A and B are shown apart, each in its own frame.
Chain A
Amino acid sequence: MTADSQATFIRRALLEPEPPPLAGGDALTRGRARLFGGVFNTVLTVASAVIIAALVWPALKFLLINAVWTGASRVDCLPETVGREVGACWPFIKAKFVQFMYGFYPASEHWRVDVTYALGAALLAPLLIPAVPWKGINAILFFGVFPVVAFFLLVGGVLGLPHVETRVWGGLLVTLVISFTGIIFSLPLGILLALGRRSHLPVIRALCVVFIEFWRGVPLITVLFFATYMLPFFLPDSWRIDALARVLIGVVLFAGAYMAEVVRGGLQAIPRGQFEGAMALGLGYWRTMGFVILPQALRLVIPGIVNSFIALFKDTTLVLIVAIFDLLGQLRAAFADPTWATPVTLFTGFAFAGMIYFLVSFGMSRYALFMERRLNSQQRR
């Protein structure tokens, strides 16, 4: 502001005109200008090309060209035995594959895990494809019936299925169980908390705010420690909660608080007229929310919800710190196996697990993007 009051200078003469900016030309000219226009730009292009070459070629060499595909132990993956530079040691993954997928779930019962996966996939696929009808029934089956079926299938103890303790669960199975449980419980919890935070009743609002801000303010790992070491103190001595269940409680509370903030964003975007319209029609609070507000609000925040799911999926890796062996935990355990100790074992293992994590997260984020575009195009009309 001070500069304005002192601005006594007014330019009388025009500056020399600058050369016109680059425009037009065919694709080749424009492309060349974009990549090599100016010294700085050329340097950037060359530097990028060098970085790409320095990363892609060694990665290809490691994963495919120099990789060892068959073998029975570490000896087959040593350069002395192979007689050349050694890339990924895929026999290591093959030997540990069952461990990575099922943990120590008894081999005779693996079919139960497979059936659960197949059932889940069969119910999830039509839910994700917008063109498939019967979304309502499908959602009830997937979010309501499937978890119960999966629980009894995996835990057993009914219908002649032998009981399998969660202690022996591991690998991708645990990763998916935690992610899925977190997802189906955190969404309803998040919706309730978000509604509570937007409520006009001061006590309910205050309780929800404290709950949400508390869980969002602490790291997940402290939540897992809380659930593992502190929760047992707070519950009656007769309640013996399974270690995996305790972790699930922690994950659900944590994810629920984050979900609440996402849902709140959607609720805030709904115009007041919608509430007033519903009220004028004589709908009560729950009907207003259930039939008018939430269907619109949740639709708006689908991308945000999926992003929370991605974060949750990635966060499941933290359970290895409280001694539950998910995919990453099994990977770490497999590294300690002396039968497969070679210089390339670590990179091979990380490459394999990395691909699984990347594919799932990337797939989810692409789906969120697809839904976002679809919803936007519907709204544009």
Chain B
Amino acid sequence: MTVDIQHASAPPRVAIYNRPKVRAFLYQLALLALALWLGYEFVLNAKANLAAQRITSGFGFLDQTAGFSVNQSLIPYSESDTYGRVFLVGLLNTLLVAGLGIVLATILGFVVGIARLSPNWLVARLAGTYVELIRNLPLLFQILFWYLAVLRALPGPRQSISLFGEVFLNNRGIIVPAPTAGEGAGLVAAAGAVGIIATLALRSWAQRQQARTGEQFPVFWIGCAVIVGLPLAVLAATGFPVGFQKPELRGFNFVGGVRLIPEFVALLIALTTYTAAFIAEVVRAGVLAVPRGQTEAASALGLRRGMTLRLIVVPQALRVIVPPLTNQYLNLTKNSSLAVAVGYPDLFAVFAGTALNQTGQAIEIIAITMAVYLVISLLTSALMNWYNARLRIVER
């Protein structure tokens, strides 16, 4: 147990390969070389394999005629259009189902999340059961369930289930009345815009008024009345140019109205209910993260329950909720690619599915598809980081 003091005083001589800096450099060099070598091998193999299978690489196929039909398209599309057009059709369908899903899942998720925290025992248990049941079943299972067992099992068009004679459910989809816009419809929309602007102006006036006199002004109710009432008044004045075209059964199918294909409805229901269960948990965690003292202090100040929620709890909870909420939005967008299982023509199904089968351009098509999802993910994260920075508590 003796220590050689003479040696300890001089800095120890370390072999050059044992110096931390040299080692770090060597390790990184080795890893980089390995990664580059792997990439080189991949490219070499891909070239050889493509040549052996006589597949021409490149993105020229995007200009070729696709020659297959798509059962839902937001833009005009025919079989004689190109693969590039198919890509666009698929991308728009993905964005449609993801966008609608995000809106609906947020609403349902917030309702369920708040319900789970309700002092009403029955409501809380019901919401809890919903969350546990939905979260513990695979999403694909739920999509297939809604599609095969519910929507495809509906009766044929002639025996359609009618809801108030306006909406019809059958195994070819859900037919809803189509909105029609006649002359003067623009005026109605303008009236709505004016109503919203007027309400915003009223709100800022009311805030100043309250700061000055302490009197509260019922902005919410008056705002609702203005936003709804103004367009209604214009609607009546111009003789109801906006209406709905009712679907009608003619022969074996419906004429008029908008048909939502069952693939779309099944996917939307499954994505919405599934993501809503996760959003509910996010919301619950966010609300629980606000210290009890905040609520108690608000009560002590005499704020009612509604105001406590709106002014004290929600703004603080949002800070915790937003990052995981964005994650759920991303998950929903990525999960929409499961559309391929039921044949909803989203980006993945028509492009990485049908187009890949027809052209055999596996590398290009899968790379493009992955890149699209990657760009959506990265954009969303960037947006979220910006929003997070804005919401952060400013500390001195």
Contact A204 B137 (CB under 8 A): no
Q: How far is the CB of A28 from chain B (nearest CB, A)?
A: 13
Residues of chain A contacted by B207 (CB below 8 angstroms): 3
Contact A234 B211 (CB under 8 A): no
Q: How far is the CB of A97 from chain B (nearest CB, A)?
A: 18
Residues of chain A contacted by B211 (CB below 8 angstroms): 3-4, 6-9
Dominant SS at the A interface?
A: helix
B335 interface residue per 8 A CB criterion: yes
Q: How far is the CB of B2 from chain A (nearest CB, A)?
A: 18
Residues of chain A contacted by B367 (CB below 8 angstroms): 230
A106 interface residue per 8 A CB criterion: no
Contact A8 B138 (CB under 8 A): no
Contact B24 A201 (CB under 8 A): yes
Residues of chain B contacted by A225 (CB below 8 angstroms): 352, 356, 366, 369
Chain B: number of interface residues, binned into ranges: 35 or more
Whole-angstrom distance between the alpha carbons of A217 and B337 in the complex? 13
Q: Which residue of B133, B149, B208 contacts A346 across the interface (Cβ within 8 Å)?
A: B149
Query: A177-206 CB contact bits vs B (8 Å, 1 = yes)?
Result: 000000000000000000000001111100
Chain A: number of interface residues, binned into ranges: 35 or more
Residues of chain B contacted by A4 (CB below 8 angstroms): 211
Contact A35 B148 (CB under 8 A): no
Residues of chain A contacted by B135 (CB below 8 angstroms): 361, 365
Contact A202 B28 (CB under 8 A): yes
Contact B148 A214 (CB under 8 A): no
B252 interface residue per 8 A CB criterion: no
A253 interface residue per 8 A CB criterion: no
Residues of chain A contacted by B133 (CB below 8 angstroms): 358
Stretch of A128-136, A151-159, A160-168, A349-357 at the chain-chain interface: A349-357
Contact B49 A232 (CB under 8 A): yes
Query: B204-222 CB contact bits vs A (8 Å, 1 = yes)?
Result: 0001101111100000000
Whole-angstrom distance between the alpha carbons of A21 and B119 in the complex? 14
Q: How far is the CB of A333 from chain B (nearest CB, A)?
A: 12
Chain B residue, CB-CB nearest to A365: B136
A29 interface residue per 8 A CB criterion: no
Contact A230 B363 (CB under 8 A): yes
Contact A45 B212 (CB under 8 A): no
B203 interface residue per 8 A CB criterion: no
Contact B366 A204 (CB under 8 A): no
Residues of chain B contacted by A11 (CB below 8 angstroms): 214
B-contacting residues, A4-23, CB 8 Å:
4, 6-9, 11, 15, 18, 21
B91 interface residue per 8 A CB criterion: no
Stretch of B73-81, B188-196, B261-269, B372-380 at the chain-chain interface: B372-380
Q: How far is the CB of B390 from chain A (nearest CB, A)?
A: 15
Chain A residue, CB-CB nearest to B371: A218
Knowing A229-B362, A229-B366, the reply to whether A219 touches B337 (Cβ < 8 A) is yes
Contact A221 B338 (CB under 8 A): yes
A52 interface residue per 8 A CB criterion: yes
Knowing A9-B213, A318-B140, A335-B148, the reply to whether A49 touches B27 (Cβ < 8 A) is no
Contact A45 B122 (CB under 8 A): yes
Q: Which residue of B45, B139, B373 contacts A218 across the interface (Cβ within 8 Å)?
A: B373
Query: B336-369 CB contact bits vs A (8 Å, 1 = yes)?
Result: 0110110000001000100010000011001101
Q: How far is the CB of B357 from chain A (nearest CB, A)?
A: 10
Can you list 10 contacts pairing A with B, beta carbon distance less than 8 Å? A11-B214, A35-B122, A217-B373, A222-B369, A225-B366, A234-B42, A321-B340, A354-B141, A357-B141, A361-B135
Please give the residue numbers on chain A whose beta carbons come within 8 Å of chain B beta carbons, in ascending order.
3-4, 6-9, 11, 15, 18, 21, 31, 34-35, 41, 44-45, 48-49, 51-52, 200-204, 207, 213-214, 216-222, 225-226, 229-230, 232-237, 310, 314-318, 320-321, 328, 332, 335, 343, 346-347, 350, 353-354, 357-358, 361-362, 365
Sample of 10 further A-B pairs with CB below 8 A, known A6-B211, A219-B335, A362-B136: A9-B211, A203-B28, A217-B377, A222-B352, A316-B138, A321-B338, A321-B341, A332-B148, A346-B148, A350-B149
